[in-house]
Chain A
Amino acid sequence: EADIYQTPRYLVIGTGKKITLECSQTMGHDKMYWYQQDPGMELHLIHYSYGVNSTEKGDLSSESTVSRIRTEHFPLTLESARPSHTSQYLCASSAREGWDSPLHFGNGTRLTVT
């Protein structure tokens, strides 16, 4: 039962289009994350936020941008989609500070750019 929601689940879009992947959580978590995963590969952190108006880039360089205007909402935007952006994008959140706070993931958005 998911408390973190991602839409759309699947998206096929042409090159050059602007897209926004939505992520919302109902748990009141301060910390939110975006991971990117290609099939058979590890999850790579591309963006994270520790709270409203806080955003940071992750370990993997990404052309996407994020915003955190409300605690529950952490959308990811690609201004001009390219085939190299084809991947699965996973949003996650966590509650507590410190080391013992596992991430809760949404079901992901599978993006295909043609």
Chain B
Amino acid sequence: DQQVKQNSPSLSVQEGRISILNCDYTNSMFDYFLWYKKYPAEGPTFLISISSIKDKNEDGRFTVFLNKSAKHLSLHIVPSQPGDSAVYFCAARRGGSQGNLIFGKGTKLSVKP
């Protein structure tokens, strides 16, 4: 049973507009969440993270929002650029576990010029 769900396999956005990638989770013990970006033929690279004690974390064009009551987080990219086209993975970590991330299936973002 999937504990981290990314229900949209793909998303297409025009350059300059906002991209919103969504992630839902089922385990209330998760207390740390991360987003990774993956280009073809490369490994995932860390993008941004958020602790469960926060509801928002911002880094440049990237903002992650966490809604604990809904067990939902989202990644906002503003403005979107063609170089952002990649697969984005949401991941979560249980409190007390050391490094064992649970990943979603990913959302493929295409940013069109």
Contact = CB atoms under 8 A, between A and B. Distances in A.
B100 A105 contact: no
A86 to B, nearest CB: 17
A73 interface: no
A31 B98 contact: yes
A34 interface: no
A30 B2 CA distance: 29
B101 interface: yes
A103 B98 contact: no
Contact of A33 (B45, B99, B102, B104): B99
B113 to A, nearest CB: 26
Interface stretch (B11-19, B36-44, B64-72, B76-84): B36-44
Contact of A94 (B43, B45, B99): B99
Interface residues of A, number: 31
Contacts, number: 66
B62 to A, nearest CB: 14
A13 interface: no
B49 interface: yes
B32 A99 contact: yes
A40 B49 CA distance: 22
Contacts of A31: 98-99
B100 A45 contact: yes
Given A42-B104, A97-B98, A102 B49 contact: yes
Nearest to A44: B103
B43 A48 contact: no
8 contacts: A42-B102, A45-B101, A48-B99, A58-B100, A102-B34, A103-B46, A108-B42, A108-B43
